[in-house]
Amino acid sequence: MNLEKINNYPPAIKDLSLTELKDLAEELRERIVATTSVNGGHLASSLGVVELTIALHRVLDTPTDKIVWDVGHQAYAHKLLTGRLDRFSTLRRLDGISGFPKRSESPYDAFGVGHSSTSISAALGMAAARDARGGREKVVAIIGDGSLTSGLAFEGLNQAGDLKKDMVVILNDNEMSISPNVGALASFLSRKMTSDLFVRMKKDAKSILSGMPHFGKDLLNLARRAEDSLKGFFTPGMLFEAFGFDYVGPVDGHQLEDLMETLENVSRLKGPVLLHVLTKKGKGYAPAEENPALFHGIGPFDRQTGQVKSSAGGPPSYTEVFGASLIALAEADPRVVAITAAMPEGTGLIEFSKRFPERFFDVGIAEQHAVTFAAGLAANGLRPTVALYSTFLQRAYDNVLHDVCLQNLPVTFALDRGGLVGADGPTHHGVFDLSFLRHIPNLAVMAPRDEIELRRAIRTSLVAEGPFAYRYPRGAALGLPIPEVIEPLEIGRGEKLREGTDGTFLALGVGVAAALEAAERLQEEGLSLAVVDARFVKPLDSELILAEARATGLLLTVEENALQGGFGSAVLELLADQGASPRVLRFGVPDRFVEQGTQDELRQRIGIDAASLVAQVREHFAQGASAQNSRITLATGV
């Protein structure tokens, strides 16, 4: 098998014949489909770049030459061609190989990634470093048409055109982001538009020229010769050439021979070059070709039928609850509008977009713009909800602070995938939001414990006078019956859920269920723990927290967020400011990046699931007097 040969020695790809390379493409597709059907993963994007990946490794001298993937969700073939065949079955699993390129995993992974639109900037930095130290390696960035919609990509293009470093940017154009691409750039890149325009122009020119009596024929021949440059002028080449790039393409991204030849030529050119490659998302696996959005990032599926192995009939996901609830509230209030940054499916806004097309905005992969755009909407009378994955809001910190909160505008941040997300790993865990939001003045920040509280949070956010953020986890809600009337929350007010005398769990979000279960189990061991859902990280329910500090003298904070600067930190600040001195144990995400795994595995590993809480609290009480020597304990997990 060609793949096995290459696995033992990646440069062996240079010795394969064209037929063997084509067979290799089949082997790669087979392996990618087989593994993702079991593990889940980013199937459609990876299938789309199989030939491109082969061509890159065939033409370049990796790992000396640098391949910089954008987002990195399409890099499965790259992994298989660079010594990770044996471990590929562990893709996205606990202690397995990552779903994204990762420098610590392989020297072939030139740059770690997971968030989009970083490739051009990173590749340019590498090219500048190469020149500074007199190196000779080639640098190639591969960016998708969706990722190109981000401002960051254009910042990279802008500087690259100015620095004129030798580098290649490959635009992998499949006309899709996760969903079909949006925005003016998408229409500009559109194959239909460019080809229609070109054909029409050619036709018009031909009939005008051939109608001229004397020199019409000569002109027609001249025009034919000029066809290539004319085509370049009226295709996306125009855009990239304005940025100082040489534009080559479009090239069929599934024709291996042409692709290798073009890449060979392009990699010898001086200065920045943009190679435009046309690919098909999901190529080679019919269900993914037919439904690339579903197979963008998919859970385990039956590879014969393409049917997703879902837990149908279970409770709705938090994402679905959010989407349905926002629709209900939008029906009653015409000022309610929703914004997504290229993730209408992921954030549960597809139904909203159909129901209220005029009140729904997909801004592309442009989180910073999404937030400032929302600020503009709010400044002019609307009630925008910006629905983003928590991890992607990290991009827009200043926009939240400067454009929304400083002006106290009523913008809502609906932060999906708050906490540990699972298989996507450290690039995607939403475990920093409570820390990076809670110090911003005017912003209320809360984490609902279940779907009823999420509905209440949504309702509250739309009547709040200023900005409001709520974050909720990836995955299924608890399946609670939804009351007919959803009451808004009192901002800054927690709720005591369980009485106890030996200590108090102060929890929020998914931590509440874990604390309740732990308290229940500890009761059986003779320990009486109260449980409070703090709800808000800001404003804190200081009254309730101080009362518990006085009543039980032991506070156990539980959060699925970084311990640094998170909820537990906020409690400590409150206690210090008030001169209160209960014993405090903090449970949360330790000061390191958490790897991939299922959410349950990760919670267990860092010690915030119910069983781990029980064990740690039991140990605390067992230690008795010696533990009293230190007043604050960090529960850091293993």
Ligand X SMILES: Cc1ncc(C[n+]2csc(CCOP(=O)(O)OP(=O)(O)O)c2C)c(N)n1
Q: H or E segment at 386?
A: strand 383-389
Asked whether residue 174 is marked as a ligand-binding residue, the answer is yes
HSE on the CB side for 455, CA within 13 Å? 19
For residue 421, the partner it binds in Mg ion, ligand X, ligand DXP, none, with Cβ less than 5 to 8 A by kind, is ligand DXP
By CB under 6 A, residue 471 contacts ligand DXP: no
Helix axes 216-225, 227-234, angle to 10 degrees: 60
57 labelled binding-site residue = no
Annotated catalytic residue, options 27, 51, 175, 367 = 367
Q: Which does 340 bind (CB under 5 to 8 A by kind): Mg ion, ligand DXP, ligand X, none?
A: none
Task: For residue 625, give the DSSP letter.
Answer: G
Burial (0-12, 13-18, 19+ Cβ within 10 Å), 156 = buried
474's contact among ligand DXP, Mg ion, ligand X, none, with CB below 5 to 8 A by partner kind, is: ligand DXP
Please say which residue, 123 or 610, places its beta carbon nearer to ligand X. Answer: 123
What are the structure tokens assigned to 632, written together? 């604050």
> Taking CB positions, which residue lies at the least distance from Mg ion?
144
The distance of closest approach from Cβ of residue 459 to Mg ion in the complex, given in angstroms and rounded to an integer, is 36
Residues 310-349, mask of contacts with ligand DXP (x by CB under 6 A): ------------------------------------x---
Closest to ligand DXP by CB, 410 vs 597, is: 597
Q: Could you tell me the smallest distance in angstroms from the CB atom of residue 193 to ligand X? A: 17
Return the one option of ligand DXP, Mg ion, ligand X, none that residue 522 interacts with (CB less than 5 to 8 A, by type).
none
Locate 370 and state its tokens. Answer: 């999404």
By CB under 5 A, residue 362 contacts Mg ion: no
Pairing of strands 583-589, 554-562: parallel
46 among the known binding-site residues? no
What 3-state class would DSSP assign to 85?
A: coil
- Check residue 297 for interaction with Mg ion (CB under 5 A): no
**Residue 432 contacts which entry, ligand X, Mg ion, ligand DXP, none (Cβ below 5-8 A, type-dependent):** none
Q: Catalytic residue at 493? A: no
Contact 42, 296 (CB under 8 A): yes
Query: Which CB, 101 or 503, lies closer to ligand DXP?
Result: 101
Chain-centre distance for alpha carbon 630:
40
Q: Is 176 in the site for Mg ion (CB under 5 A)?
A: yes
d(CA 527, CA 519): 8
Shorter beta-carbon distance to ligand DXP: residue 362 or 424: 424
Task: List, as one string, the DSSP characters of 221-259.
Answer: HHHHHTHHHHHHHHSTHHHHHHTT-EEEEEEETT-HHHH
Is 145 known as a binding-site position?
A: yes
Q: Tell me if residue 501 falls in helix, strand or coil.
A: coil
The reply on whether position 604 binds Mg ion by CB under 5 A is no
Helix axes 318-332 and 451-463, enclosed angle (nearest 10): 40
Q: How far is the CB of 357 from ligand X (least distance, A)?
A: 20
Q: Residue 160: helix, strand or coil by DSSP?
A: helix
Spatial distance between the Cα atoms of 345 and 292, rounded to a whole number of angstroms: 12
> Is position 475 an interface residue for ligand DXP (rule: CB under 6 A)?
no
Q: Where are the alpha helices (DSSP H) in 133-150?
A: none
Q: Minimum distance from CB of 149 to ligand X (Å)?
A: 8
Cβ 421 to ligand DXP, closest distance in Å?
Answer: 6
Q: Is 116 annotated as a binding residue?
A: yes
CB of 416 to ligand X, least distance (A): 12
**Catalytic site includes residue 395:** yes
With respect to ligand X, which residue has the nearer C-beta, 159 or 172? 172
Q: How many whole angstroms separate alpha carbon 533 and alpha carbon 123?
A: 46
Catalytic residue of the set 84, 359, 395, 521:
395
What are phi and psi for residue 337, nearest 5 degrees?
-130, 160
Which value, to the nearest 10 degrees, does the dihedral of the CA atoms of residues 168, 161, 233, 148 take? Answer: 60
Closer residue to ligand DXP in complex, CB, 84/296: 296
Q: How far apart are CA 150 and CA 364, in angstroms?
A: 7
79, 84, 92, 281: the catalytic one is 281
Tokens of 362: 């997909």
Output the CA torsion sign for 368, 180, 111, 66.
Answer: negative
144 is in an annotated binding site: no
CB of 502 vs ligand DXP, minimal distance in Å: 38
Please check if 588 is assigned to a binding site: no
The residue at minimum Cβ distance from ligand X is: 144
Examine residue 73 and tell whether it contacts ligand DXP (CB under 6 A). yes
Name the minimum Å distance from CB 116 to ligand DXP: 7
The residues of the shown chain that bind ligand X, judged by CB under 6 A, are 45, 48, 71, 73-74, 115-116, 144-147, 172, 174, 176-178, 281, 296, 341-343, 365, 367, 392, 395
528 labelled ligand-binding: no
CA angle 109, 113, 116 (to 5 degrees): 135
**Count of CB atoms situated within 10 Å of the CB of 101:** 25
> Which residue lies nearer to ligand X by CB, 243 or 392?
392
Q: Which residues contact 77 (CB under 8 A, 6 or more apart)?
A: 28, 32, 46, 49, 50, 53, 54
Interface mask (CB under 6 A) for ligand DXP, residues 407-436, using x and -? ----------x---x--x------------
146 makes contact with Mg ion (CB under 5 A): yes
Contacts with ligand DXP by CB under 6 A: the residue count is: 10
Distance (Å, whole) CA 256 – CA 495 = 62
Question: Residue 474, interface with ligand DXP (CB under 6 A)?
Answer: yes
Residue 295 CB, nearest approach to ligand X (Å): 10
DSSP character at residue 336: E
387: CB partners within 8 A, 6+ apart: 322, 338, 339, 340, 343, 347, 348, 349, 414, 416
Q: Which stretch binds Mg ion (CB under 5 A): 70-78, 167-175, 341-349, 593-601?
A: 167-175
> What are the binding residues?
73, 114-116, 145-147, 174, 285, 367
- Residues contributing to the site for ligand DXP (CB under 6 A): 42, 71, 73, 296-297, 346, 417, 421, 424, 474
**Could you tell me which residues are annotated as the binding site for Mg(2+)?**
145, 174
Q: Which residues are catalytic?
A: 281, 367, 395
Give me the residues that bind Mg ion (CB under 5 A), please. 144-146, 174, 176
Write out the binding residues for thiamine diphosphate. Answer: 73, 114-116, 146-147, 174, 285, 367
